[in-house]
Every structure is written in structure tokens, then in C-alpha cells.
């Protein structure tokens, strides 16, 4: 099969950047990204490239080059499906909030809707690619729906999970550690794998393209996220011990990370990991293990989440304790709200949970984040349903100037590791804060001695 046209269902953090890069590197293939969210599609089509729906360094340049040439964003889902030989499913797979598996299992309703729509609309053979992160064995369900509700045409299912990280999405896509493609162990399955591999081979060296069976590919994605999150929880699980003993977590991380078998990456102690996927994917893994009766394995992986929850709570409690046991009516400045630097994504950000706990104590939170809108912060808090929207807006103020956010604050919290925070005039910030002025550095971003020499009381994580 020769691919002349690709459709991607889901124009989110994965679908948008991934398809932009595929289109950019394969000018001979028409790539149409479709979504039910017409506002999102309108933003992808915006002439003003600063208005793209997601912020990723370098994405504007890629979109500018390919859009209108062979990259299109549209709400006409049926047409894009019908004309494509290959369809990527890149819709959201959140944790279920209802019914069996509530709070743990992946909610596959959007995946099933896509499968049914593909089956209904398609009039020629298609390769359907799972780009979303899915529980192992999902391809079986998709195949079942396609074969039983389709128009008698042939569907080949591939698993091609995405490993990009937000904030570095373009770089990760242009120069990936690997591309993983899983397919059926049949002749047509292997041929489909080769067809997709050829598209990636336009820019990815062939030795980086890993080919497996469907189930290995699906499970490898959940496993990769579980291992990465486990490293963060492992280092965070040592921070209390460091604080109690005088060991310094940064020194410990450096010492262990120098062992080439351990390696230095993902050993930054923090206020806890966030993002839309680590928690969701581990819970999904835990649920699968539990469903199959593998309770020890389920408990093992669940600890990664429990440590992360503990780290957030511990950080919030530390702040209240240091501020003489009460933050009622005190102003607390937050620098950062996004779950990591270089993204406007706030999903599962530690900021939300820490702000919520401090607002329970009636603190007034004053936030500055370079990329997150006031509306998003408010909506993140409203989503928790901890208090009324009116109370959330009473206790949360947002600022577009970091210096303004710090005025009158008793404490300043660094939540996100934005590089710009390191360049601020911290003396100026100190001068406008209530005294004694505290800094709680949830990322160990600032230089402790420089900050302390100004007069701040500085608390890092695990130091």
C-alpha cells in the first residue's frame, strides 16, 4: 500500500505536534488532523502562530512551513477518514471517573467512538494506528469493532505509541530515541508495519525503529512511563531522609547518577511529578494487574503514585509549619503553575494540589506563570470541586508580572522550573515581600547561598 493521505483523529498535545512533524518530513503525503473541538482546530489554523492551541518550542516554525502545503487541520472528520489510507487515533484516554474501574482504568469511550466512526465511513482498506496510550490488548477490541461494524473492507491495526515529552516535543519528534511499531504477526500485519516504518524512515535512522508484536508495543508504552515516574518517586522518597539527616538530595542524585548503570536523568527531586500521563498510565497498569489477580505487582506500582501524593502534601504542610502554623489571610506567591517548564499544560500539576491545600488554610495565592492563563488556573481549581468557584476566585489572584505577584507575600513558592526564574532580581523581590520572607523551592532551582545572603529563609526539597 502506498500512503498518499493520512488522517489523525485528535488535534491535542500529541496529534498536533506529531502530525506536524510527519507532514514536515513527508511533503508528498497529505496529512489532515481532525478534531471535534472546533475552537482547537480554529487555533491550529490561526494566522497568528502565537495563538496555536499548545505552546511547544519550535512548533510554530514547523507548522508555518507545512500548513497549507500538505498539513491541514479540519473538523470534517468523515471526509478526512474516507480519503486516508492510514488513520492515527490520537484522542485522549483519561482515567475513568465512573463505573467499574473508576479512578484507575483508562476511559476508552473516545477510542471506541473513533473505531465506530472509522468503520462507518471507510469505503477502502485502511491501516489504523493506535497513537494514544492504551491498555495492553486494546487493539483486539478495536479490530473487533472495525471488522463487525465496517463495510467489509480490510483493516490492519498497528500500535505506535508516542514517547514525546511536553516542552521538548518537537526535539523529541525530530530526534527520537526510538520509534516503536507493533503489528499483528501475520503477513498483512508485517507489511503494515513496514509501510508505517517507511514514513518514519524519511527522517529517523532505521536502527531506531523498533518492530514488535501488538501487545509488546502497547505494554511498552505503559511500562516506559511507569519506569520514568518510578525514578522520580524513588528520588523523592529519599528527600525526607535527607532533610532529617543533613544529606543533600542533589549530591546524592549526582553520586548515584554517575554510575553508568543508573544514569543521571530523571533524578531531580521535586514537589512531585505532574502531567496528564504518569499518574493515569500507572493507575491503568495497576488496574490491569489487579484485574488479572496480580496483586503484588499492582501494589508495587501503586506505591509510585502514593509517594507522589505524599510529596505534594508534605510540601504544603512544610509551608504551613514554617509560617508559624498558620497561613490564614497570608499572601503566598507561586512562581509557576505548569507541570513542567516550556509548556502551558497544567494537567495534574503539583501547583493545583498545593494551592488547594493552602487555600483550605485560607491563604491568598498570587500566581505568576509565563505561559498559563488566569482562566486555566481558575478552571484547574474549580475542577477539584473543593470549594465554590467564588471562593476559588477570592483566594486566587494571577499576575502577568512576577514582581507584582510577590508583593506583600509572606512566602514564595517555586513550583515550575522555568529558566527565567533564575534571572530575576531577587533582591528587588525580597524588598517588596512581608518579613521574614520565605522561599520554598520545589525544584531546587535557585542558588541557596545567594538567596540566603539577601535575607530570605530558603527551603529546598531534600536539602
Using the minimum distance from each CB to ligand UGA, give the nearer residue, 121 or 210: 210
Minimum distance between the CB of residue 459 and ligand UGA, rounded to whole angstroms?
17
Site for ligand UGA in 413-452 (CB under 6 A): none
**Is 277 labeled as catalytic in the residue annotation?**
yes
State which residue, 165 or 184, has the beta carbon closest to ligand UGA: 165
- The contact set with ligand NAD (CB under 6 A) reads 9-15, 34-37, 40, 77, 90-93, 110, 113-114, 132-133, 162, 164, 166, 276-277
DSSP designation for 96: P
Residues near ligand UGA (CB under 6 A), total: 20
Q: Rounded to 5 degrees, what are φ and ψ at 399?
A: -135, 150
- From ligand NAD, ligand UGA, none, interface partner of 270 (C-beta below 5 to 8 A by class): ligand UGA
Q: How far is the CB of 313 from ligand UGA (least distance, A)?
A: 16
Q: Is 223 in the site for ligand UGA (CB under 6 A)?
A: no
Q: Which residues are within 8 A (CB) of 104 and not within 5 positions of it... i.e. 6 or more apart?
A: 95, 96, 283, 284, 286, 287, 290
Residue 424, Cβ density class (10 Å: 0-12 exposed, 13-18 middle, ≥19 buried): middle
Near ligand UGA by CB under 6 A: residue from 95, 270, 279, 284: 270
Residue 76 phi/psi, 5-degree rounding, is -85, 80
267 binds ligand UGA (CB under 6 A): yes
Shorter beta-carbon distance to ligand NAD: residue 226 or 277: 277
User: Of these, 22, 222, 232, 372, which contacts ligand UGA (CB under 6 A)?
Assistant: 232
Binding mask 83-122 for ligand UGA (x = CB under 6 A): ----------------------------------------
DSSP count for the chain of H helices, then E strands: 19, 14
16 closest CA partner among 62, 68, 48: 62
Q: How far is the CB of 158 from ligand NAD (least distance, A)?
A: 15
Cell 542524585, residue located:
253
- Interior CA angle at 326 toward 321 and 328, to 5°? 145
- What residues numbered 308-367 form the site for ligand UGA, per CB under 6 A? 339-340
Question: Residue 157 and residue 118: Cα distance in Å, rounded?
Answer: 12
Distance CA 91, CA 131 (A): 8
Catalytic residue among 7, 114, 242, 277: 277
Which residue's Cβ lies closest to ligand NAD?
A: 12
- Mark residues 154-193: x for contact with ligand UGA by CB under 6 A, - for none: --------xxxxx---------------------------
Question: Which residue number, 104 or 146, has a Cβ lying nearer to ligand UGA?
Answer: 104
Among 275, 336, 402, 442, binds ligand UGA (CB under 6 A): 275
164 vs 228, which CB is nearer to ligand NAD? 164
Output 113 or 297, the one with its CB closest to ligand NAD.
113
| CB nearer ligand NAD, residue 40 or residue 312 | 40
* Upper half-sphere CA count for residue 24 (Cβ side, 13 Å): 19
Residue 268: name its binding partner from ligand UGA, ligand NAD, none (Cβ under 5 to 8 Å by kind): ligand UGA
Distance CA 417, CA 223 (A): 26
For 461, the grid coordinates are 526539597
Q: Is the separation of the CB atoms in 349 and 273 below 8 Å?
A: no
Rounded to a whole number of angstroms, the minimum distance from the CB of residue 155 to ligand NAD is 17
Nearest to 8 by CA among 65, 68, 71: 71
Nearest to 225 by CA among 178, 283, 155, 185: 283
Residue selected from 133, 160, 220, 248 as contacting ligand UGA according to rule CB under 6 A: 133
Asked if 41 contacts 75 with a C-beta cutoff of 8 angstroms, the reply is: yes
273 touches ligand UGA (CB under 6 A): yes
Instruction: For the chain, give the longest Cα–Cα distance.
Output: 74
The nearest distance, CB 215 to ligand UGA, in angstroms, is 18
- By C-beta, is 384 or 404 nearer to ligand UGA? 384
Cβ closest to ligand NAD, residue 75 vs residue 397: 75
Distances (CA, A) of 77 to 36, 91, 434: 8, 13, 55
Exposed e or buried b per residue across 50-85, where buried means at least 16 C-beta atoms within 10 angstroms of its C-beta: eebbbbbeebbebbeebbeebbbbbeebeebbbebb
Among 274, 402, 460, 462, binds ligand UGA (CB under 6 A): 274
What CA–CA distance (Å, rounded) separates 450 from 427?
Answer: 10
In the complex, the smallest distance separating the C-beta of residue 228 from ligand NAD, rounded to whole angstroms, is 11
Interaction partner, residue 160 (ligand UGA, ligand NAD, none; CB < 5-8 Å by kind):
none
Min dist. Cβ of residue 225 to ligand UGA (A): 5
| Whole-angstrom distance, CA of residue 223 vs CA of residue 372 | 30
Q: Are 405 and 333 in contact (CB under 8 A)?
A: yes
In the complex, which residues of this chain contact ligand UGA (CB under 6 A)?
133, 162-166, 225, 228, 232, 266-268, 270, 273-275, 277-278, 339-340
Q: Which residues are catalytic?
A: 277
Amino acid at each position: 500500500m502506498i500512503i498518499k493521505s493520512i488522517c489523525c483523529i485528535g488535534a491535542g498535545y500529541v496529534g498536533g505536534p506529531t502530525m506536524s512533524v510527519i507532514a514536515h518530513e513527508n511533503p508528498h503525503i497529505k496529512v489532515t488532523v481532525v478534531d471535534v473541538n472546533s475552537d482547537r482546530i480554529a487555533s491550529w489554523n490561526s494566522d497568528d502562530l502565537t495563538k496555536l492551541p499548545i505552546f511547544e518550542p519550535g512548533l510554530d516554525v514547523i507548522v508555518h512551513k507545512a500548513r497549507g502545503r500538505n498539513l491541514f487541520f479540519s473538523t470534517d472528520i468523515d471526509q478526512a477518514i474516507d480519503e486516508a489510507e492510514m488513520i492515527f487515533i490520537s484522542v485522549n484516554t483519561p482515567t475513568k471517573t465512573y463505573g467499574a474501574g473508576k479512578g484507575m482504568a483508562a476511559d476508552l469511550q473516545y477510542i471506541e467512538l473513533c473505531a465506530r466512526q472509522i468503520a462507518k465511513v471507510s469505503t477502502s482498506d485502511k491501516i489504523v494506528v493506535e497513537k494514544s496510550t492504551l491498555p495492553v490488548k486494546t487493539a483486539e477490541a478495536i479490530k473487533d469493532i472495525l471488522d463487525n461494524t465496517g463495510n467489509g473492507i480490510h483493516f490492519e491495526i498497528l500500535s505506535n505509541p508516542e514517547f514525546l515529552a511536553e516542552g521538548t516535543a518537537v526535539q523529541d519528534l525530530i530526534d527520537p530515541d526510538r520509534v516503536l511499531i507493533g503489528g499483528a504477526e501475520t503477513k498483512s500485519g508485517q507489511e503494515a508495519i513496514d509501510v508505517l516504518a517507511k514514513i518514519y524512515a524519511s527522517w529517523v535512522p532505521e536502527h531506531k525503529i523498533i518492530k514488535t508484536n501488538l501487545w509488546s508495543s502497547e505494554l511498552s508504552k505503559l511500562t516506559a512511563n511507569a519506569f520514568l515516574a518510578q525514578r522520580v518517586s524513588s528520588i523523592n522518597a529519599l528527600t525526607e531522609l535527607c532533610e532529617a539527616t543533613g544529606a543533600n538530595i542533589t549530591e546524592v542524585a549526582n553520586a548515584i547518577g554517575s554510575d553508568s548503570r543508573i544514569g543521571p536523568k530523571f533524578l531531580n527531586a521535586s514537589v512531585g511529578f505532574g502531567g496528564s500521563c504518569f499518574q493515569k498510565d500507572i493507575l491503568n497498569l495497576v488496574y490491569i494487574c489487579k484485574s488479572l489477580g496480580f496483586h503484588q505487582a499492582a501494589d508495587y506500582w501503586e506505591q509510585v503514585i502514593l509517594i507522589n501524593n505524599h510529596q505534594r502534601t508534605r510540601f504544603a504542610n512544610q509551608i504551613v509549619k514554617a509560617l508559624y502554623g498558620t497561613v490564614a489571610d497570608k499572601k503566598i506567591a507561586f512562581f509557576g503553575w505548569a507541570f513542567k517548564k516550556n509548556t502551558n499544560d497544567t494537567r495534574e500539576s503539583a501547583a493545583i494540589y498545593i494551592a488547594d491545600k493552602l487555600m483550605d488554610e485560607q491563604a491568598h495565592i498570587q500566581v505568576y506563570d509565563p505561559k498559563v492563563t488566569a482562566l486555566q488556573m481558575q478552571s484547574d481549581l474549580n475542577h477539584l470541586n473543593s470549594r465554590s468557584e467564588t471562593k476559588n476566585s477570592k483566594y486566587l489572584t494571577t499576575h502577568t508580572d512576577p514582581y507584582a505577584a510577590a508583593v506583600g507575600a509572606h512566602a514564595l513558592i517555586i513550583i515550575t522550573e522555568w529558566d527565567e526564574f533564575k534571572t530575576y532580581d531577587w533582591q528587588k523581590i525580597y524588598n517588596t515581600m512581608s518579613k521574614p520572607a520565605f522561599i520554598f523551592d520545589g525544584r531546587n532551582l535557585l542558588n541557596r547561598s545567594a538567596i540566603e545572603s539577601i535575607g530570605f529563609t530558603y527551603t529546598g526539597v531534600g536539602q
